[in-house]
Homo-oligomer: A and B are copies of this chain.
Amino acid sequence: MDDLTTAGFQTLSDLESAARAKLTDPIWAYVQGGSGNESTVRDNVDAFRQWHLRPRPLAGIDAVDLRTSVLGETVSSPVYVCPMAYQALLHPEGEAATARAAAAAGQLAVYSTLSSRSLEEIAAAAPQGRRWFQLYLQPEFSASEQLIRRAERSGYSALVLTVDAPVLGPRDRQTHDGVAIRSPVPIGNGPGVVPPARAPAFQDGRYAFPPDACVDWTVLERLSRVTSLPLVVKGVLTAEDAAKAGDLGARAIVLSNHGGRQLDGAMTGLDALPEVVRAVGARTEVYVDGGVRRGRDVLVALALGAKAVGLGRPVLWALAAGGEAGVHRLLDVLNAEVAVSMMLAGRRTVAEIDRSLVVRRPA
């Protein structure tokens, strides 16, 4: 616990500054970097600025309830921790610190296949926490299956399949300053677990990708056969794919461009939200991540139809700034911002955050 250091953090921006001061240049490049020249990273943040709130005061609110459910599980807030690899780069306790903080806050956290700690260690660090397991498909399906089994045994309650990273996007900053992306720190889930392949090989006139990068929609069926965990598809950005995911049994989708780290120039999850919710909102839960920095951003996403909102880089900042206490402080600060914003907006519950709360910012 680093209470003294984190006590002063009032905003996510404070945490960012504190993290910058603590981290080496290569690790900072890894955390902040995105694909290409990072315009997609910036687009994620800007997308939220394009909406204004239409508050409804005098709503007679004595208390605000942030609780909601994701796939039927009650959580204390619609904000969850996105799966992020290699958290030991930020703090020696890595995902264990994140897990303890999220569990203490009653919030969902999703853990990456590429966690620095094993999924069992993460579960043991916070047995009561709500946790989902994020899967990067492994070269052998049996290896993926083994990870799923372990996740089932360790109390992970949903399987989040990331589909936007069959290979890694080009990241200028990392290329120039960065840590080597392939296992910069050991992968907690074992030496057999591998990250997405870095680059294609040019042969016979084509760019051939490692065989495990070749995945199609049938994978959803294959996964359904080996686990009864509800399936979440992460990295979809179109109504077409959202519908297809639902048709193939996905219970939820995450609109995401992977924090701007994968396809350079991809649209933002937030911009995709209206079209996707219109298409599948009635039957599939829709989450969104990327660019969330303030309580108001959470309200915007919920008003546009998101069921939950993922928090990415800020968690890494918080880890670096103060380990478990840092993440705890982060969640506290953000939830309080959400709560105060809801109060001022006249929304008592998450369910009351409807489309009429937002209006496009005039051009």
Q: Known: A36-B296, A166-B343, A295-B264. Contact between A336 and B57, CB under 8 A?
A: no
Q: Is the CB of A344 within 8 A of B169?
A: yes
Assembly stoichiometry (copies): 4
Partner of A265, one of B211, B218, B237, B296: B296
* Interfacial chain B residues near A10, Cβ < 8 Å: 170, 172, 175-176
* Interfacial chain B residues near A166, Cβ < 8 Å: 57, 61, 343-344
CA–CA, A128 to B106, complex, Å?
59
Q: Is the CB of B267 within 8 A of A207?
A: no
Q: Is the CB of B215 within 8 A of A55?
A: no
CA–CA, A65 to B207, complex, Å?
6
Q: Is the CB of B241 within 8 A of A340?
A: no
Q: Assess whether A49 is interfacial by the CB under 8 Å rule.
A: yes
Q: Assess whether A11 is interfacial by the CB under 8 Å rule.
A: yes
Q: Is the CB of B339 within 8 A of A52?
A: no
Partner of A238, one of B37, B56, B335: B56
Q: Is the CB of A216 within 8 A of B60?
A: yes
Q: Assess whether A240 is interfacial by the CB under 8 Å rule.
A: yes
Q: Assess whether A27 is interfacial by the CB under 8 Å rule.
A: no
Q: Is the CB of B271 within 8 A of A11?
A: no
CA–CA, A57 to B215, complex, Å?
9
Residues 205-248 of chain A: 1 if any B CB is under 8 Å from the residue's CB, otherwise 0? 11111010111111100000000000000011110110000000
Could you tell me the distance in whole angstroms from the C-beta of A83 to the nearest C-beta in chain B? Answer: 16
Q: Known: A61-B214, A206-B64, A216-B58. Contact between A37 and B294, CB under 8 A?
A: yes
* Interfacial chain B residues near A336, Cβ < 8 Å: 170, 199-200, 202, 207
Q: Counting chain B CB atoms within 10 Å of each CB, which of A39, A47, A62, A205 scores highest?
A: A62
**Which 5 interchain pairs have the tightest Cβ spacing?**
A60-B216, A265-B296, A207-B339, A52-B267, A62-B214
Interface residues of A (CB under 8 A from B): 10-11, 13, 36-37, 39, 43, 47, 49-67, 76, 106, 163-170, 172, 175-176, 199-200, 202, 205-209, 211, 213-219, 235-238, 240-241, 262-268, 271-272, 294-296, 299-300, 335-337, 339-341, 343-345, 359, 361-363
